Amino acid sequence: MPLFEIETDAHIIITWAADETAAGGVVHEAYPGDKVIRLTKRPRDTWVISKGALGLTTKRVDVCSTARDCLSKSSGDKVHAIRLYMHETGTDLEHARKVIESNMVMGW
């Protein structure tokens, strides 16, 4: 069963569901007053939250939606995601590698 990330106006919900409709149903059942802002099928069956992204460490990590999109398009294949990121942004290999790896640890 796929893992879904659902962002509402008040919550971020991580849940397993058969499809997007069922995932939306989980939200409406648990939080009927919430409006779904974003519903994303995760490419893997695990979820990781970076303490740096939450500000719980002294090291801050920036979230990059382009890198997350590249990771999603590549189904988690780091090398392919790096190539996609380089193509989409025009950045060099080393910078692309750092951005992709940083976003991998943030639970893309």
Q: Is residue 58 part of a domain?
A: yes
In a shared domain, residues 56 and 37:
no
pLDDT at site 61: 47
pLDDT at site 63: 52
In a shared domain, residues 55 and 94:
yes
In a shared domain, residues 57 and 100:
yes
Identify whether the C-beta of residue 34 lies closer than 8 Å to the C-beta of residue 8: yes
Q: Is residue 7 part of a domain?
A: yes
In a shared domain, residues 33 and 11:
yes
How many folded domains does the chain comprise?
2
Q: How many CA atoms lie within 13 A of 66 on its CB side?
A: 12
Using CB atoms within 10 A of its CB, is residue 85 exposed (0-12), middle (13-18) or buried (19+)?
A: buried
Q: Is residue 82 part of a domain?
A: yes
Q: Give the count of beta carbons closer than 10 Å to the beta carbon of residue 4.
A: 22
Mean pLDDT by 10 residues, the chain (108 residues): 87 90 94 91 71 60 74 88 89 88 71
Q: Is residue 46 part of a domain?
A: no
Q: Is residue 89 part of a domain?
A: yes
Using CB atoms within 10 A of its CB, is residue 100 exposed (0-12), middle (13-18) or buried (19+)?
A: buried
In a shared domain, residues 34 and 56:
no
pLDDT at site 107: 58
Instruction: Determine the structural domain holding residue 37 and report its residue range.
Output: 3-41
Q: Is the pTM of this model over 0.75?
A: no
Q: Taking the C-alpha atoms of 67, 99, 79 and 72 in order, what is their torsion angle to the nearest 10 degrees? A: -20
In a shared domain, residues 80 and 100:
yes
